[in-house]
Chains A and B, each alone.
Chain A
Amino acid sequence: MSTTDVLVVGAGPAGLACAATILEHSSLSVVVVDAGHGPGGQYWRQPAPAVGADALDPAELADLHHDRARFDALLHRLEQGRTDGRLQLRSQHHVWSAVPDMQGYAVHAVDRGRGPSHVPGSTTVARALVLATGAFDRALPFPGWDLPGVMTVGGLQALLKAGGVVAGRRVALGGTGPFLLPVAAGLARHGATVVGVYEANRPARWLREGRAVARNAGKLGEGAGYAAALLRHRVPVRAGRMVVAAHGADRVEAITLARLDRAGHPVPGSDQRVAVDAVGVGWGFSPQLDLAVTLGVDLTPDVAGTEVVAVDDAQRTSRPGVYAAGEVCGVGGAPLALTEGRLAAAAVVADLTDGRVPADVVSSARRVVTRQRAFATAILRAHPVPAGWADRLAPDTIVCRCEEVTLGAVRAAIDERGARDARQVKQLTRTGMGWCQGRVCGYAAALLSSGRPGPAVERLVAAPVPLGTLGALAEPTARPSRRTGISDDAM
């Protein structure tokens, strides 16, 4: 067991900004724990650290990061903290539980960076705990969505940012939200033919959000930039379209698109088949709440009814000593996550020390948060899941990918056995009981059974842990890891 003043879960923009700000304005010790190969989170996702002539060089992928300088500045600040012995970054560490402890909070993690047969556990006790666990893609089922080659939009992006790999030669993107555009632009630049970006919602929805848009003019510039890039690569962007099926034998070979009517239902007879070898579909993001729910911090619904961590204007949660920043508090993009990370740092420094983060830094951060949260809300309102998302599902469409539960079985639980929420559907059909614990299908199961995103799911175990690790029985034997560089503290 080790101890620290502050433990930050998540090394994305929010967690990194938080750690860097604490290092800069206090003498507190900080441990950052993150499941990724290195710092960056989703936004600044990088290839795993590697050496060798043929190693993937982040510079080859620099075009995917237009604020690399900010990331480098944060890394520099963290590197200093490491040299001073005040910071530890534990990459490839998956936190499976965070619980109250006499001295604050005990955070239990498994280290997945030492090869498949050696998965040691660790416990760190911290006086303050910052949850910066981000978000993951929200997926909805459709016939054929379980074919290889069909991925989430974020998954395509991660493959490109971390692996330099475009998932296919002819790629289609579907779903909703501004995130579709940069992913399409990146794929096109790196050699894919993006056959189309199919945005379910129509631009007219944005007209209702004039105020938030006007206050965030920079975001429009960003969007215009992607639009220009897409034009350059002849990528068609079609609004009011939805991917209603994927086809193929052992992998995706084509998709069917349908036009959506004003109410968000696929128009009969509007089907169009497009040949593809990869598809990315995403309906926005779901905040990663597993640790927050188990800690029992208060949650609050966003405008779309999705629960997010409730924080005060200093990023304090309802539980003393627990702070939250970034997309756990609601999806809003990397700049917002960064700013919230800084605010959370200010609260930690104020609560744990006699010192302070300068008042002007805090107040300007607060203004940015207010403005960008308004914009994030506008995005949520302009990009809802269409009412007819499930119209074209068939009884044999898989809903739960892990347990292979079909829509027919889910509907039977609802119609014949009275299931009224995702938990009841799970109890009756196993939907959400598999490896992913409902992170992928839970949203759909909630919509199907209750018409709403439903309450956040309690998952007492936030990441799989080998029983041998838990019982501390597994000797570090089996096969020794072949890994050369150990990721612990790798920066």
Chain B
Amino acid sequence: MSTFEFDGAGIEFRPGQTIGAALVAAGQVSWRTTRVGGVRRGLFCGIGICFDCLVTVEGEPNQRACLVVAEPGLTVTTQEGTGHEHD
């Protein structure tokens, strides 16, 4: 089974899925906190319009989980706020 790493844990996925789809399939519904209220967010529109699903991929913040295709060995991390807080 193909896996990528999410906050240190392995997430199994089926090649062809996006990171967002794989996370939802694994029971994970949120992977970022907002910069004002600090509340959790995940997929909303599913097609790249709403930017609610932003996540850090390979250290690069603000990637849309609903668009980025999952690949074996990718490192995905929960994004806090702007994603640049520790820049």
Contacts and interface: CB of A to CB of B under 8 A. Distances in A.
Interface in B18-41: 18, 20-22, 24-25, 29-30, 34, 36-37, 39-41
B58 to A, nearest CB: 6
Given A50-B15, A54-B2, A55-B15, A148 B45 contact: no
A137 to B, nearest CB: 6
A151 B47 contact: no
B11 interface: no
A116 B63 contact: yes
Given A117-B60, A162-B21, A163-B25, A49 B44 contact: no
Main SS of the interface on chain B? loop
Contact of B17 (A47, A152, A402): A47
B54 A37 contact: no
Given A116-B58, A137-B45, A165 B15 contact: no
Nearest to B14: A56
A35 B44 contact: no
A482 to B, nearest CB: 6
Interface of A: 35, 37, 42, 47-52, 54-56, 92, 112, 115-117, 136-137, 139, 146, 148-152, 154-159, 162-165, 167, 250-251, 401-404, 434-436, 439-440, 479, 482-484
Contacts of B39: 146
A251 B30 contact: yes
Given A162-B21, A164-B14, A436 B51 contact: yes
A51 B66 contact: no
Contacts of B29: 148-149, 251
B69 A479 contact: no
Given A56-B14, A137-B45, A162-B18, A482 B51 contact: no
Given A163-B17, A435-B51, A479-B58, 4 more contacts: A47-B17, A56-B17, A251-B30, A436-B51
A401 B46 contact: no
Contact of B24 (A117, A157, A167): A167
B46 A440 contact: no
21 contacts: A47-B16, A54-B14, A137-B49, A146-B52, A148-B40, A149-B42, A152-B46, A155-B43, A159-B46, A162-B21, A164-B14, A164-B25, A165-B24, A165-B25, A251-B40, A435-B62, A440-B44, A440-B45, A479-B59, A482-B73, A483-B71
Nearest to A55: B15
Contacts, number: 144
Given A50-B16, A149-B42, A152-B44, A163 B21 contact: yes
B9 interface: no
B17 A165 contact: yes
Contact of B47 (A112, A158, A434): A158
A435 B54 contact: yes
A250 B30 contact: yes
Contacts of A404: 34, 36-37
Contacts of B68: 116
B47 A55 contact: no
Interface centre among B37, B42, B62, B73 (most CB of A within 10 A): B42
A403 B1 CA distance: 39
A115 B70 CA distance: 11
Contacts of A165: 17, 21, 24-25
B44 A150 contact: yes
Contacts of B34: 404
A401 B1 CA distance: 36
Contacts of A51: 15
A404 B59 CA distance: 25
A152 B52 CA distance: 12
B84 to A, nearest CB: 13
Interface centre among A54, A148, A157 (most CB of B within 10 A): A148
Nearest to A37: B69
Nearest to B72: A482
A159 B44 CA distance: 10
Contacts of A52: 2, 15
